[in-house]
Amino acid sequence: MFRALYSDSITLHLINEDNLTDIVMLFQGYADSRPMLEELFRNYLPRYENGRRTNFGFYSLLHGELAGMTLLSVDSYEERAGSTGADVFQHMRGRGVTPRSKPHLFYLAFEILGLHRVATGCRVSNFASKRSIEKTPGFQLEGVMRESGVNEQGEFEDEYLYAILRQDWERLYDKSQVQVLP
């Protein structure tokens, strides 16, 4: 296995049970530490199905400074499909952390795990996430999922759905740019 992925001044450190205490300590002292820790425990911890890991959560460092978290979930090994998500600390927003982390996740998905498709999405009101996704080469808008979730106001809201396929990644990305750190 690996412990981290590096490219473009961003290091993604894999979140595991054995480094969780250190990660919780690392996340202390920020204005949004509490919601980020809640998100860490809700979505970024390892998950397994039939003995295979399905949730690959990472904390991200930009030039060595804590930036946030990013995630690759294997939705189905059989269908070779996955999905991504990200959360960035407030003080690091606007620096391109999420789109610049995608090559790492795509490398994991397509090169290491052999997936065929990786999807992501955002609520239609989340303009920052929409911009971030659209800055990521390869993601194509596939449609709108009507009233797919409940927003912060407790109302149903539509969600944009984007995806990248293996052949898009092979055409657009240089896999030699991602370093796997053991």
Rounded mean pLDDT, 31-35? 97
Average pLDDT, the chain: 96
- Predicted confidence band of residue 149 (pLDDT cuts 50, 70, 90): confident
pLDDT at 152: 84
Contacts of 108 (CB under 8 A, 6+ apart): 5, 56, 72
pLDDT at 118: 98
Q: Which residues pair with 57 in a beta bridge?
A: 71
pLDDT at 20: 97
The percent of residues in the chain predicted with pLDDT above 70, rounded, is 100
pTM: 0.94
Compute the distance between CA of residue 29 and CA of residue 39 in angstroms, rounded to an integer: 16
Q: Which CATH class is domain 4-175?
A: alpha beta
pLDDT of residue 102 exceeding 90, the answer is: yes
pLDDT at 133: 93
- Predicted confidence band of residue 1 (pLDDT cuts 50, 70, 90): confident
- Predicted confidence band of residue 75 (pLDDT cuts 50, 70, 90): very high
